[in-house]
Amino acid sequence: MSVYTPQTIEEAVELLATHPDAMLLSGGTDFMVEVNFNHRKPTEVVSTKAINELKVWDVDHSSHTVFIGAGVTYSTIEATEIAEVVPALAEASRTVGSPQIRAAGTLGGNLGTCSPAGDTLPVLAALEARIVIASPGSHREVAFADFMVGAKKNSLRSGEMVVGVSLPIVRGWQGYAKVGVRNAMVISIASACLVRDDVDDSVKVALGSVGPTIIRAHDAEAWWKDQTVPRSKEMFAEFGARCALEAKPITDHRSTADYRRHAVKVLCARLAARSSSR
């Protein structure tokens, strides 16, 4: 196996373009599991480890945006100013694996794998993140909704890699919650992120592990906006039920479709209630 260790993004994408079979390796927490189980047999690997440009993050209060490099780990997201300005992303990061996985695993790797159970992905969907992508000599940006195109499928083209993610700093409450078979070291059975914007009291909700892609509960969001009565317990329950109607869960080795739908209902009602109890 040939392992390349480029120092810059440009070198990395040149390598990907000239070695079409080469696979990107970041923290290796997904990649190496696949290699160990013989699901992936790489002959050429491009490691991102030495690319410092991918490990940067920046909070820009004047433009109300945060940029997080693809090589930023979960433990960095949890422990820096990122956690203050995008708290839902920090909450999601805290639920990933163990401290060892969070020290190695990266945001770019979560996007590379693009599993519907990826914990950061509902947050990126609810915040309408833009994914910054590099290829030799150019950069492009896509909305998260156009980036994730199926279960473990993203819209990266040959020779491209994720450079980072651009997120808005929203004035209002945001939170992430997930259900699994235990409290830690668990892949979600269902997850949800809710972002409430104080400016117009709108909400954005994204659901994980209940469809081939992350699902935005657009109908429930619109219903929330139409409500003129004061927010109440009944309203949160109704909102949760409406979010569950938009889930497209399946039954698999982790859970049943019915339980997943029920979990979405409970998670979304709770997130809505928390958003109102500030």
Binding footprint of ligand FAD on the chain (CB under 6 A): 23-31, 33, 48, 70, 95-97, 101, 104-106, 108-110, 112-113, 118-119, 156, 161-162, 187
User: What would the 3-class secondary structure string for 238-266 be?
Assistant: HHHHHHHHHCCCCCCCCCCHHHHHHHHHH
CB of 235 to ligand FAD, least distance (A): 31
Structure tokens at 234: 């009944």
Nearest to 129 by CA among 73, 75, 206, 192: 206
Task: Indicate the residue among 120 and 275 with the shorter CB distance to ligand FAD.
Answer: 120
CB of 76 to ligand FAD, least distance (A): 12
Task: Indicate the residue among 24 and 124 with the shorter CB distance to ligand FAD.
Answer: 24
Sequence letter at residue 140: R
Angstrom distance (rounded) from CA 3 to CA 87: 36
CB of 73 to ligand FAD, least distance (A): 8
Task: Indicate the residue among 119 and 221 with the shorter CB distance to ligand FAD.
Answer: 119
| Helix H or strand E encompassing 31 | helix 31-36
Characterize 192-220 residue by residue with b for buried, 16 or more Cβ atoms within 10 angstroms of its Cβ, and e for exposed.
bbbbbeeeeeebbbbbbbbbebbbbbeeb
Task: Indicate the residue among 106 and 174 with the shorter CB distance to ligand FAD.
Answer: 106
CB of 205 to ligand FAD, least distance (A): 19
CB of 139 to ligand FAD, least distance (A): 13
Q: Which long-range contacts (CB under 8 A, 24 or more apart) does 247-251 make?
A: 247/190, 247/207, 247/210, 247/211, 247/215, 248/210, 248/211, 248/212, 248/215, 249/190, 249/209, 249/210, 249/211
Angstrom distance (rounded) from CA 105 to CA 113: 11
CB of 245 to ligand FAD, least distance (A): 25
Task: Indicate the residue among 123 and 203 with the shorter CB distance to ligand FAD.
Answer: 123
CB of 36 to ligand FAD, least distance (A): 10
Sequence letter at residue 77: I
What is the C-alpha end-to-end distance of the chain, expressed in Å?
A: 54
Task: Indicate the residue among 30 and 221 with the shorter CB distance to ligand FAD.
Answer: 30
Task: Indicate the residue among 132 and 220 with the shorter CB distance to ligand FAD.
Answer: 132
